[in-house]
Structure 1
Amino acid sequence: MSQQTAPVNIKIEKNYDSEMCGSIPLHLVNLIQPHGVLLVLDKKELRILQASENVGAFLPATPEQLLQEPLSRFLPAAQYEEIQNKLEGTLERIPLTLQFEVDGKKTAFSALVLPQEEYVLLELEERQETAQDSFIGLYQNIKYITSLLKQASTYQGIAQQAAEGLKKLSGFDRVMIYQFDPHWNGIVVAQAKEEDMDDYMDLRFPASDVPKQARELYFRNPYRIIPTHNYEPVRLQPVINPLTQRFTDLSESNLRSVAKVHLEYLSNMNITASMSLPIIIDNKLWGLISCHHKTAKYPSYEMRSAMELLSGILSAQLEAKQKEESMALRVYLRGLHVNLMEQLFSAATFAEGLQEGSENLINLLSLGGTAVVYEGNVLKTGITPEEREIKELVSWLRRNKARSIFATDALPAEYPHSKAFSQVASGLIAIPVNPEQGEFILGFRPEVLQTIKWGGNPNNAIQMEPDGKNYHPRNSFATYQETVKQTSLPWRQEEYEAAEALRNAVLEKIIREKY
């Protein structure tokens, strides 16, 4: 993000994406949170196959009294018919308002019908309407927040407006916009909070805090809500789904219980309630909206739906800004490329055309120095490694990276011999001209020392018990600083494309010179 003090894509040597955390089958827990009821229905007759054991807290019935009963027995005919009709037309989640009647007592629920391949999940949460959550009130707030997002001129501005707008709308004590780096560590890029809460702005959190399994579930669930971490999980009855003879897959259930280690994590942060929503850009998980509350908090279904809508709007705005900035960079690089091409084709050799004159390779790719290794010669411009070091680097490239353009912002991590000259060449882009003969155009970027701040020591993110099976999250989120060395500024995709266009022009120039 343009104004960020802590760049997201710094190369971090250690991978904190825990295999252990990422392998836990979170969707097969067979447990739900107690703020709602879950029913599992067969698809043909909508008979109740499983019911959560907390049914009695919402309806005058036990799970045993509901099992094998048709759903039609408890609903008005019009509502039951509506469910049937909608199930025929979609496999997407279907929100409804249902009036359950058991033994003469009527209870209104906000319901969510979740069609699965073999069965149907039905989530029921008791209806709670407030003036704040009226359609008109929510619509007006959404429109206002959306207008602010559109006016913001940078990624940072968009994210900050979203954090502030969502905090005001939802009433959560803290709202953070959390972006993932290439290794799935997260960084807080925007924040709105109460004054007495910890400041996490610009802090990084290791990938094990949101492990692979949890990240994947965000593509199936529009949000994750935990009204309080002090809940007792509720089982489904019977435990095994009688239709599949397996645990029921709760991937899409908002009521699905949360791993105990995550509840402990919230407690260690002094947080009681949380809600998180995905930010998805170009079908990839870009980041999360993370909401925290010091005490128990149960946003209404209407409020959660409004926040879900805003997370989609935020994703669209960030994606539009990303494309806008990418297009601006492409236009800028195209202008430099055109000028460089005029120089290239009027010069005696391609090496002179790239390295001399008002336009050169250093300007095009924001380099500290360049080297053209061609026909046994090494022609250098700017600040580069020694000629012997360049020749050894080219030998390594011939053996390992010769077929296409190679770019890295952490050359010493891939080519250890480069540690000796990492100050001038922690970043490398290698453009093959005739790789079999060791002929390359090389661009170097100098080392940029960067201090990054973690929310707690990432090396202590997971603390194992002596049995080697059970584990706990870290209990301190005090800022932990780490200096990243032997890395350069990262290469942008647009720069890679510019290098590819340059390579094609150079090969054309060489063919003209020879033939």
Structure 2
Amino acid sequence: MENLQAPISITPEKNYDSEFCGSIPLHLVNLIQPHGVLLTLDKANLRLIQVSENAEQLLGDKVLNILNEPIAKFLPAQQLEDLQDKLQKAESREKIPFGLTFLVQGKEVTYTALLHPKEEYVLMELEDNQNPPQQESFLKLYQQIKYITSQLKQARSTQQITQLAVEALKDMTGFDRVLAYQFDPQWNGIVVGQAKEEDMDDFMDLRFPASDVPKQARDLYFSNPYRLIPARDYTPVRLNPVINPFTQRFTDLSECNLRSVATVHLEYLGNLKIQASMSLPLIIDNKLWGLISCHNKTPKNPGYEMRSALELLSGIISAQLASKERENSIERKARLSGIHAQLLEQLYTIPNFADGLLTGNTSLATLLNLSGAAVLYEGGVWTSGSVPSAQDLKELIYWLRRNKTERSYATDSLPNQYVRARDYKELASGLIALPINAEQGEYILGFRPEVLQTISWGGNPDQAIQMEPDGKTYHPRNSFAIYQQTVKHTSLPWLAEEVEAAETLRSAVLEKIIKDRY
């Protein structure tokens, strides 16, 4: 057998995706971060029906005096027309920031605005660009993006793509540490790329439990192109009134960049010894593949130009990762197709199909990377390589018939699914079962041995959530020291292309059996 799997494929036995953390409604917090202002406008007449309590700084009047006023009162006529025009177009286009000038105590002040139209109302996010962070010229950002893109296209593997990406983004943004973080099948994340200052903790190759990025937080990355926390120790700003007059509930802030962050996450950042963070989703085939996570030891608020560049780059990085994964999949399929063709020829030249699968220059073991295989057909048993005993095979078939009906079945942790398999885990921690006639107990079986794997976690995953005695308040772990865990009762995982090749072979075997009979 050859080890064809990446470390991300190792799946821990325990599921660390916390249902408790994943049930917290992060989008209904009624709070924003203070580096901007949020206005809720009646869609029909652009009247201010809800504002963040720091709106006084923006509009120059007390919140109670601002509420229920038309926004036209605070805008020059030309700006009002521009806003109305953008609202008409906003329904069918990406969320694009634009400059909006307000009249504040007789003076014109320009803010960067972002619109989120809803059915009855509009959310408007505003950030002050009078004293913005260091501005990047369009030409410089364009050159940087083009250079990074050309580097990514030359990468030979997903690992090289992620490493090139984090190095380029660190250089471009000035963040102290940039990580590429890939999710495993159970939503634990492993750091697959890192660029950092020397005095920052090293997280390369460490795994973090799924509860660090619970389901609610993961889902929000499909509404937001990035998640920015410029200063961890901020004081949240409330919306006034508390309840949205149209929905009679907290306003849904899913799409808002200013949305406040759960206290437990801010505590988590503190335990990481960082003051600012920005994360960008890596989305492939409409699924969250991973994240780019940027950390800074001091407060940091990238300007909209830089944020927009990062948003664009996260899409480019995702596209390059998707392209490389497709390329790798095509190569694997081509290799397996060649082996399948040889095996098919052998299958039709040897009278007994079981011998055709298990013996000869090409075998089932070659196709599916097996350490052992067995064919149970018409009362006979044919085996090759290392397989369980005849009695164990009989009991395994009985379990398959009882639980898996007539479907093909593959698992890389058979002893965790079928307790009796623990007696022969060294031979069969991995199983692929292809039914010929399940009702008669006729199967083609492929086995993979146990592979003891050591996972290095960033802190003890069993202590990722620490509950208070009240059972409601909880805290994140305060240590990210390397915690090693040995994964038992597992084999190398089955690649999707291998499972597909196995199913294609099953169809060929069934076709041969029918031809031989009739």
TM range (shorter): over 0.9
> Which residue number corresponds to residue 224 of structure 1?
227
Greater displacement, 127-136 / 175-184: 127-136
Cα pair 2:58 2:104 within 8 Å, conserved: no
- Give the Cα–Cα distance (whole angstroms) in 1 for the partners of residues 470 and 89 of structure 2: 51
- Give the Cα–Cα distance (whole angstroms) in 1 for the partners of residues 481 and 57 of structure 2: 41
- Give the Cα–Cα distance (whole angstroms) in 1 for the partners of residues 38 and 193 of structure 2: 35
- Give the Cα–Cα distance (whole angstroms) in 1 for the partners of residues 402 and 6 of structure 2: 36
Secondary structure (helix, strand or coil) at the match of 2:8 reads: coil
Structure 2 matches for 1:312-391, cutoff 5 A? 312-391=315-394
Structure 2 matches for 1:456-471, cutoff 5 A? 456-471=459-474
Amino acid at match of 2:66: L
- Give the Cα–Cα distance (whole angstroms) in 1 for the partners of residues 248 and 494 of structure 2: 51
TM-superposed CA distance for 1:11, in Å, is: 2.1
> Which residue number corresponds to residue 115 of structure 2?
113
> Which residue number corresponds to residue 37 of structure 1?
37
- Give the Cα–Cα distance (whole angstroms) in 2 for the partners of residues 452 and 135 of structure 1: 43
Secondary structure (helix, strand or coil) at the match of 2:125 reads: strand
> Which residue number corresponds to residue 494 of structure 1?
497
Cα pair 2:44 2:120 within 8 Å, conserved: no
1:238-272 superposed Cα distances (whole Å, 9 cap, x missing partner): 11111222111111100000000000000011011
> Which residue number corresponds to residue 102 of structure 2?
100
TM-superposed CA distance for 1:62, in Å, is: 2.3
- Give the Cα–Cα distance (whole angstroms) in 2 for the partners of residues 40 and 253 of structure 1: 12
Q: Give the TM-score normalised by structure 1.
A: 0.97
- Give the Cα–Cα distance (whole angstroms) in 1 for the partners of residues 100 and 89 of structure 2: 19
Cα pair 1:185 1:204 within 8 Å, conserved: yes
In structure 1, which of residues 274, 279, 304 is the aligned counterpart of residue 277 of structure 2?
274
Secondary structure (helix, strand or coil) at the match of 2:484 reads: strand
TM-superposed CA distance for 1:346, in Å, is: 1.2
Cα pair 1:6 1:452 within 8 Å, conserved: no
TM-superposed CA distance for 1:103, in Å, is: 2.0
Secondary structure (helix, strand or coil) at the match of 1:250 reads: coil
1:319-341 superposed Cα distances (whole Å, 9 cap, x missing partner): 00010000111111111111111
- Give the Cα–Cα distance (whole angstroms) in 1 for the partners of residues 58 and 148 of structure 2: 36
In structure 1, which of residues 309, 319, 323 is the aligned counterpart of residue 312 of structure 2?
309
Secondary structure (helix, strand or coil) at the match of 1:244 reads: coil
- Give the Cα–Cα distance (whole angstroms) in 2 for the partners of residues 440 and 380 of structure 1: 12
- Give the Cα–Cα distance (whole angstroms) in 2 for the partners of residues 16 and 131 of structure 1: 40
2:423 equivalent to 1:444: no
1:64-119 superposed Cα distances (whole Å, 9 cap, x missing partner): 23211222222233332222223223424242111111221221111101112221
2:511 equivalent to 1:508: yes
- Give the Cα–Cα distance (whole angstroms) in 2 for the partners of residues 130 and 296 of structure 1: 12
- Give the Cα–Cα distance (whole angstroms) in 1 for the partners of residues 439 and 513 of structure 2: 16
Greater displacement, 113-122 / 30-39: 113-122
- Give the Cα–Cα distance (whole angstroms) in 2 for the partners of residues 6 and 105 of structure 1: 59
Cα pair 1:11 1:410 within 8 Å, conserved: no
- Give the Cα–Cα distance (whole angstroms) in 2 for the partners of residues 228 and 6 of structure 1: 36
- Give the Cα–Cα distance (whole angstroms) in 2 for the partners of residues 463 and 72 of structure 1: 50
Secondary structure (helix, strand or coil) at the match of 1:8 reads: helix
- Give the Cα–Cα distance (whole angstroms) in 1 for the partners of residues 197 and 309 of structure 2: 22
TM-superposed CA distance for 1:486, in Å, is: 1.1
Cα pair 2:36 2:126 within 8 Å, conserved: yes
TM-superposed CA distance for 1:495, in Å, is: 0.7
Secondary structure (helix, strand or coil) at the match of 2:383 reads: strand
Greater displacement, 30-39 / 401-410: 401-410
User: Which ranges in structure 1 are unaligned for 5 or more consecutive residues?
Assistant: none
Amino acid at match of 1:443: G
Cα pair 1:75 1:101 within 8 Å, conserved: yes
2:154 equivalent to 1:176: no
1:138-197 superposed Cα distances (whole Å, 9 cap, x missing partner): 111111111111111100000001100111111100000001111111110000000000
> Which residue number corresponds to residue 432 of structure 1?
435
Tell me the matched-pair count. Answer: 514
1:181-225 superposed Cα distances (whole Å, 9 cap, x missing partner): 111111100000000000000101111100111111000000000
Structure 2 matches for 1:5-404, cutoff 5 A? 7-91=7-91, 92-127=94-129, 128=131, 132-404=135-407
Amino acid at match of 1:310: L
Cα pair 1:222 1:308 within 8 Å, conserved: yes
- Give the Cα–Cα distance (whole angstroms) in 2 for the partners of residues 399 and 314 of structure 1: 45
1:450-492 superposed Cα distances (whole Å, 9 cap, x missing partner): 0000000000001111111111000000000000011011111
Cα pair 1:4 1:189 within 8 Å, conserved: no
- Give the Cα–Cα distance (whole angstroms) in 2 for the partners of residues 230 and 131 of structure 1: 22
Amino acid at match of 1:19: E
Greater displacement, 466-475 / 78-87: 78-87
- Give the Cα–Cα distance (whole angstroms) in 2 for the partners of residues 87 and 458 of structure 1: 46
Q: Give the TM-score normalised by structure 2.
A: 0.97
Distance 1:67 1:139, change over 3 A: same
- Give the Cα–Cα distance (whole angstroms) in 2 for the partners of residues 90 and 178 of structure 1: 32
Secondary structure (helix, strand or coil) at the match of 2:245 reads: coil
Distance 1:495 1:514, change over 3 A: same
- Give the Cα–Cα distance (whole angstroms) in 2 for the partners of residues 72 and 134 of structure 1: 32
TM-superposed CA distance for 1:388, in Å, is: 1.3
Cα pair 1:6 1:202 within 8 Å, conserved: no
Secondary structure (helix, strand or coil) at the match of 1:270 reads: coil
- Give the Cα–Cα distance (whole angstroms) in 1 for the partners of residues 418 and 412 of structure 2: 12
Distance 1:425 1:285, change over 3 A: same
Amino acid at match of 1:37: V
Amino acid at match of 1:338: A
TM-superposed CA distance for 1:233, in Å, is: 0.4
- Give the Cα–Cα distance (whole angstroms) in 2 for the partners of residues 331 and 181 of structure 1: 25
TM-superposed CA distance for 1:130, in Å, is: 6.3
Amino acid at match of 2:352: T
1:337-374 superposed Cα distances (whole Å, 9 cap, x missing partner): 11111110111011011111111100000000100011
Secondary structure (helix, strand or coil) at the match of 2:152 reads: helix
Amino acid at match of 1:258: V
Overall identity of the aligned pairs, in %? 64
TM-superposed CA distance for 1:5, in Å, is: 9.7
